[in-house]
C-alpha cells in the first residue's frame, strides 16, 4: 500500500462473471472515482481477480464479500434455496457482523478464516464503501441482497460512509426482506437509483429519509465504447459484411433468467416469430447480442427458430465492442437491461421485451429516464398481441432519426444528475 495515499475507497458490485453490463458499470465508476480522488487507493472487490484485472487494467483488488465471507468460488453455500440453507446463510452473515463489532473494540476476531478477517480489516481502514450499479438490492437476487445488506451494516460498525450508485431497489416479496432492507439501507449515506418510480417507492416503503436518495441513471450509461471497426470485424467473421449492413440491422438480446423451464421454449418461439414479422416488413439482418455466457446458450437455442437464421455476436462479452454495435443498430430489441442502457446511451431507439415484474421494474424504469417508456412490450401480459408488437418495432425503425434526437436530448440532464450525485458523495467521504 502506498505510504502517501490520501485515503481508500472500496468498490463492490457484480464483477468477475463476464457480464458485459456489470463490467461496464465498473468501467464508468472506476473512471469517475479515479478522476475525483486522484490520491486515493481504489480497491475493487471481486470474486475473480484475474478477470477484473484483465478487463479493467486495474490491479488494486481484493476478495468480494461473497468470496471472503461465503466461499462463493468453492461451495454452493452462497445460493440458499431451502429454509435450512437460508437460515445458515443468515447465521453466517450475522457472525461476520458480530466479528466487525469485535474488531471495532480491538478484541480481534473469533472463528473467522484469514480471508474474511482481511476483508473486515480492509473495510475498517477505508474512507468510503461504494456499491457500483446493479439489480442486487432486490429480494429477487436473495443471496446478493442479504450479502449487500450485511456488508453495509459492517461498514457502519466501522463508521465508514456508504454510497450506492445506479441501483434497482425493491421487490421485497417477503416480510423479512422488507425488515432487513429497512434495518440496513437506512444506514446508507447516499443512494442513486436507475429508475424514477419503482425504486423510489421501495425506499419510501422502508421510510428512508428523502434527502438520501434520488433518481439518476445506470452507472454504465456513459461507459467507454470501441470504434465501429471492432464490431464490423466480428460481423465480417460471421459472414455479415458492409453490403449486408447497408440497410441497417436489428440488435436483439434474448434472456430468460428466472423464467420457469417450461416457459422458455414457447418464449423463444414467440420472439423468433415476432422478429420474423418485423423483418418481413423491413428486411434487414438480425444480430443476436449475448451479454453473458448464459445468454449465448439461450441464443444458440433460439437461432434455428428464425425464418432467416441470425448470427450470434460473440466478442468475449467485451462491453466496449457490444456498445459500439448497439450504437449503429437500426433498433435494439432486448429482454435484458444493459442493452437498453448501452443503446440509449448512444441514442439508439430501443424496444424492451419484459416478461416479469422484475424486468418491468428494471427495463421500463430505465426507458423512462430517456422518455421512451412507451416502447416496452409485456410478453407476459394477457393482452399481448404479436402484430401490434411488430408494428411498434417497425415504427421505431422508421422513426430512428427523430427518436434518436429525442433520446439524446436527455443525455445532458442525466450527466448533470450524475455530477450532482458524485458531488454529494464527496461530502460524505470520511476525512
- Residues 257-277 have pLDDT tens digits of 778 888 899 999 999 999 999
What digits encode the pLDDT tens for the residues 44-58? Answer: 999 899 999 999 999
The three grid cell numbers given for residue 63, joined into one nine-digit string: 476478495
Measured over the CA atoms of residue 217, residue 218, residue 223 and residue 228, the dihedral's sign is negative
Which residues does residue 7 pair with via DSSP β-bridges, in sequence order?
Answer: 40
Choose among 144, 348, 388, 383: nearest CA to 253. 348
In a 3-state reduction of DSSP, which class is residue 331? strand
Three cell numbers written together for 353: 421485451
Each domain of the chain, given as residue ranges in start order, spans 7-222+413-428, 228-398
Measured between alpha carbons, how far is 56 from 27 in angstroms, rounded to an integer? 7
* Least confidently predicted of 170-174, 180-184, 332-336: 170-174
Average pLDDT value for residue range 138-145: 86
Helix (H) or strand (E) holding 146, with range, is helix 142-157
User: Which phi-psi region, left, alpha or beta, contains residue 100 (left: φ > 0; alpha: ψ -120 to 50)?
Assistant: alpha
Concatenating the DSSP letter of every residue in 286-306 gives EEE--SSHHHHHHHHHHGGGS
Residue 151: pLDDT over 90: yes
pLDDT digits (tens, 9 = 90+) for 10-41: 999 988 888 999 999 999 999 999 999 999 99
| Contact present, 329 and 348 (Cβ < 8 Å) | yes
Average pLDDT value for residue range 217-241: 96
Q: Which CATH number fits domain 7-222+413-428: 2.60.15.10, 3.30.70.420, 3.40.50.11720, 2.40.50.140?
A: 3.40.50.11720
- Residue 121 CA, distance from chain mean position: 28
Superfamily of domain 228-398: Glycogen Phosphorylase B; (3.40.50.2000)
Task: Answer whether 425's CB lies under 8 Å from 128's CB.
Answer: yes
Same fold across 7-222+413-428 and 228-398? yes
C-beta separation of 99 from 109 below 8 A: yes
* Local structure of 130: helix, strand or coil: strand
Q: What is the pTM of this model?
A: 0.93
Neighbours of 184 (CB within 10 A): 22
Distance CA 49, CA 70 (A): 17
Amino acid at each position: 500500500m502506498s505510504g502517501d495515499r490520501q485515503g481508500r475507497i472500496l468498490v463492490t458490485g457484480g464483477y468477475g462473471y463476464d457480464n458485459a453490463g456489470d463490467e461496464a458499470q465498473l468501467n464508468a465508476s472506476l473512471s469517475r472515482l479515479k478522476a475525483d480522488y486522484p490520491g486515493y487507493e481504489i480497491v475493487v472487490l471481486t470474486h475473480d481477480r484475474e478477470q477484473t484485472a484483465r478487463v479493467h487494467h486495474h490491479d488494486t483488488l481484493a476478495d468480494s464479500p461473497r468470496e471472503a465471507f461465503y466461499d462463493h468460488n468453492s461451495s454452493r453455500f452462497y445460493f440458499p434455496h431451502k429454509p435450512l440453507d437460508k437460515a445458515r446463510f443468515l447465521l453466517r452473515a450475522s457472525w461476520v457482523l458480530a466479528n466487525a463489532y469485535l474488531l471495532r473494540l480491538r478484541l480481534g476476531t473469533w472463528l473467522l478464516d484469514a480471508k474474511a478477517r482481511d476483508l473486515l480489516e480492509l473495510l475498517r481502514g477505508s474512507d468510503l464503501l461504494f456499491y457500483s450499479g446493479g439489480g442486487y438490492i432486490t429480494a429477487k437476487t436473495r443471496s446478493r441482497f442479504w450479502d449487500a445488506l450485511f456488508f453495509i451494516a459492517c461498514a457502519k460498525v466501522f463508521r465508514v460512509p456508504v454510497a450506492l450508485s445506479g441501483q434497482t431497489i425493491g421487490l421485497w416479496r417477503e416480510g423479512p426482506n422488507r425488515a432487513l432492507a429497512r434495518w440496513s439501507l437506512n444506514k446508507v449515506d447516499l443512494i442513486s437509483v436507475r429508475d424514477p418510480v419503482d425504486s423510489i417507492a421501495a425506499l419510501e416503503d422502508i421510510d428512508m429519509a428523502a434527502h438520501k436518495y434520488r433518481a439518476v441513471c445506470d452507472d454504465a450509461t456513459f461507459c467507454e465504447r470501441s470504434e465501429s471497426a471492432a464490431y464490423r470485424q466480428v460481423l465480417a467473421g460471421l459472414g455479415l459484411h458492409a453490403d449486408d449492413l447497408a440497410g441497417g440491422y436489428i440488435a436483439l438480446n434474448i434472456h430468460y433468467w428466472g423464467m420457469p423451464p417450461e416457459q422458455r421454449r414457447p418464449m423463444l418461439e414467440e420472439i423468433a416469430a415476432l422478429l420474423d414479422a418485423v423483418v418481413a416488413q423491413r428486411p434487414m439482418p438480425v444480430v443476436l447480442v449475448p451479454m453473458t455466457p448464459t445468454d449465448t446458450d439461450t441464443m444458440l437455442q433460439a437461432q434455428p427458430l428464425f425464418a432467416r437464421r441470425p448470427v450470434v455476436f460473440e466478442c468475449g462479452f467485451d462491453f466496449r465492442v457490444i456498445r459500439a454495435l448497439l450504437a449503429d443498430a437500426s433498433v435494439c430489441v432486448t429482454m435484458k437491461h444493459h442493452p437498453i442502457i448501452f443503446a440509449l446511451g448512444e441514442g439508439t431507439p430501443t424496444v424492451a421485451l419484459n416478461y416479469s415484474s422484475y424486468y418491468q421494474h428494471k427495463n421500463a424504469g430505465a426507458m423512462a429516464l430517456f422518455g421512451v417508456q412507451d416502447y416496452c412490450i409485456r410478453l407476459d401480459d394477457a393482452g399481448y398481441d404479436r402484430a401490434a408488437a411488430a408494428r411498434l418495432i417497425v415504427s421505431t425503425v422508421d422513426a430512428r432519426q427523430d427518436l434518436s434526437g429525442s433520446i439524446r436530448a436527455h443525455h445532458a440532464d442525466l450527466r448533470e444528475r450524475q455530477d450532482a450525485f458524485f458531488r454529494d458523495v464527496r461530502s460524505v467521504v470520511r476525512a
